[in-house]
Amino acid sequence: MLTTAQDFAANPFAMLLDPERVAHEVACSERLARLRSRVYRPLDKPLIAHRGAADQARYDEEVDAAELSEADLLPLDDEASDGTALSA
């Protein structure tokens, strides 16, 4: 079943039905060739320092062992911890 070029271009499922033809059409397209393009490369080194598993485990233990007071916890109702009403 052959379709015309216009029918093929308008078919949103063309890539599923005939991927080789779509790749060929893209490679031969004058309009796509005229587009300006730029190659972006990832950074060589990540800016975020990686922590070791031992450092992460030690930090987790410190957080788990920390005792929280009532003042450290957020209020769960419409009243602040100092007794004043919160406004919306």
Q: What is the pLDDT along the chain (88 residues), one digit of tens a residue?
A: 455 566 666 788 887 888 898 889 889 999 988 988 877 777 766 556 666 778 888 888 998 888 877 777 776 665 555 666 655 5
Q: What are phi and psi of 85, to 5 degrees?
A: -80, 140
Q: How far apart are the first and last CA of the chain?
A: 65
Specify the pLDDT at position 28: 92
List the structure tokens of 37: 């393009």
Structure pTM? 0.32
CA separation for the pair 42, 38 (Å, rounded): 13
DSSP label of 10: H
